[in-house]
Amino acid sequence: MEMTTEELAPGVAVLRCTGRLNMVAAKQFRSHIDETVRGGHRKVAVDLGGVSFIDSSGLGALVGGLKSARQAGGDLRIAAAGDQVRSVLELTNLARVLRPHDSVESATDGW
């Protein structure tokens, strides 16, 4: 999985991911979010447009990232999730806390 971070505004970053967010990639993904938050970007939008697959480890990493961001006084939102990602978010009821936004623009609206 490949990840890049871009600052959208002071304190706001978008994390773009490409590949499969599974148990092989989850730890690195979680570290990347934590580093982003520690680096002063308390509001993180995760662009999942390039993520073809997510498993429970990836879901756990997203929840962990959400907690990190909230503990720092910010938030984490997800954008551009594909069909498989949306399905597992719904089936695990995680869509309640990680509501999928259609685009990074809508995810970061109000930030």
| Residue ranges in contact with another protein by CB under 8 A | 20, 22-24, 53, 55-57, 59-61, 63-64, 66-67, 83-84, 87-88, 91-94, 96-97
Kindly tell me which of 37 and 88 has the beta carbon lying closer to another protein. Answer: 88
Kindly tell me which of 10 and 93 has the beta carbon lying closer to another protein. Answer: 93
How many Cα atoms sit within 13 Å of 16 on the Cβ side?
A: 9
Sign of torsion over alpha carbons 10, 34, 30, 27:
positive
- Taking the complex as a whole, the smallest distance from the CB of residue 105 to another protein amounts, in Å, to 26
CA atoms of 82 and 68, how far apart (whole Å): 24
